[in-house]
C-alpha cells in the first residue's frame, strides 16, 4: 500500500475521533461504513451500527462477515436520544471499537421544532465526542441539502444538513462524490486529499489513487 492509501486507511478508522462521511444519495455512504466495520473484524474488535433509515442496510450484510457487529434500528428522535444515553456503559462493558450512526441527521431534518432538533443533535454529537475520547471511533454519515452560493445565486452547491454543528464536533470530515461510474472520497479535515473508490459488491470497497 502506497503512502497515500495508507494515510486514508488511517483516517477512515482513526482512533479517538468523530468521523463525518457525507454525500448525496447513491454516493456509497452506507457501503463504505459497512466496509469499514468488516475491517475491524481482523482486529477481533466489536462494533455497533445504528440505522435511522429502517432496514435498507440489511441487503448489504451477511451474518458471517458481520457477526461481530450489533445492529440497531431507531425510528424517532426520542428513540435515538434514549439510545445515546445507553451507549457509554454498553461500549465500556462490551469493548466496542467502532460506533456507526447511519445517518446522524435524517431525524434532525424531520423535526418541526428547530430548537429541539438543534439541542438533540448537539447532545448526540457531544456523546459521540465523549465516546471517541474513551478510545472508540465514532463514524457518522450525513445527508446533504442544496445551498445557493451567495456569489452565484443560480448555482447550487452541496453541504451536509446541520453543517454548523456536524463540522464543529467532527475530527475528520469526508465528502463522497459520484461522477458517472466513478466515485471520489474527498478529505476536507484535517487535511485536503482525494482518493478514488469503487463498490465491488455489498459492503466491499476498493480504493485507488487518482491520476493527476
Q: Which helix (H) or strand (E) holds 138?
A: strand 137-142
Query: Residue 6's pLDDT is what?
Result: 67
Query: Residue 145's pLDDT is what?
Result: 79
Give the strands of the sheet with 193-201, arranged side by side: 69-73, 46-51, 96-102, 137-142, 18-23, 172-179, 182-189, 193-201, 204-208
pTM of the full structure: 0.90
Contacts 24+ apart (CB under 8 A), 76-82: 76/107, 77/107, 77/108, 77/110, 77/111, 77/116, 77/117, 77/120, 80/50, 80/52, 80/107, 80/120, 80/124, 81/120, 81/123, 81/124
Query: Residue 74's pLDDT is what?
Result: 96
In whole angstroms, give the CA distance from residue 50 to residue 110: 18
- Which cell goes with 109? 431534518
Query: Residue 37's pLDDT is what?
Result: 92
Query: Residue 150's pLDDT is what?
Result: 38
Residues in the chain, pLDDT under 70: 1-9, 146-157, 211-212
In whole angstroms, give the CA distance from residue 193 to residue 68: 31
Give the strand pairing for 193-201 and 182-189: antiparallel
In this structure, the chain runs to a length of 212
Amino acid at each position: 500500500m502506497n503512502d497515500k492509501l495508507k494515510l486514508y486507511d488511517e483516517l477512515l478508522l482513526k482512533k479517538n475521533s468523530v468521523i463525518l462521511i457525507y454525500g448525496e444519495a447513491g454516493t456509497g455512504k452506507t457501503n463504505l461504513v459497512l466496509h469499514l466495520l468488516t475491517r475491524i473484524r481482523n482486529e477481533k474488535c466489536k462494533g455497533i451500527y445504528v440505522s435511522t433509515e429502517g432496514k435498507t442496510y440489511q441487503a448489504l450484510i451477511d451474518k458471517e462477515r458481520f457477526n461481530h457487529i450489533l445492529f440497531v434500528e431507531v425510528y424517532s428522535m426520542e428513540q435515538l436520544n434514549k439510545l445515546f444515553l445507553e451507549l457509554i456503559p454498553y461500549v465500556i462493558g462490551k469493548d466496542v471499537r467502532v460506533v456507526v450512526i447511519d445517518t446522524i441527521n435524517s431525524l434532525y431534518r424531520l423535526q418541526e421544532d428547530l430548537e429541539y432538533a438543534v439541542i438533540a443533535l448537539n447532545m448526540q454529537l457531544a456523546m459521540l465526542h465523549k465516546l471517541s475520547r474513551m478510545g472508540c471511533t465514532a463514524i457518522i454519515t450525513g445527508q446533504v441539502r442544496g445551498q445557493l452560493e451567495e456569489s452565484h445565486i443560480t448555482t447550487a452547491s452541496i453541504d451536509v444538513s446541520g453543517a454548523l454543528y456536524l463540522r464543529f464536533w467532527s475530527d475528520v470530515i469526508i465528502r463522497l462524490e459520484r461522477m458517472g461510474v466513478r466515485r471520489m472520497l474527498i478529505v476536507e479535515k484535517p487535511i485536503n486529499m482525494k482518493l478514488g473508490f469503487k463498490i465491488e459488491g455489498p459492503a466491499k470497497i476498493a480504493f485507488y489513487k487518482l491520476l493527476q
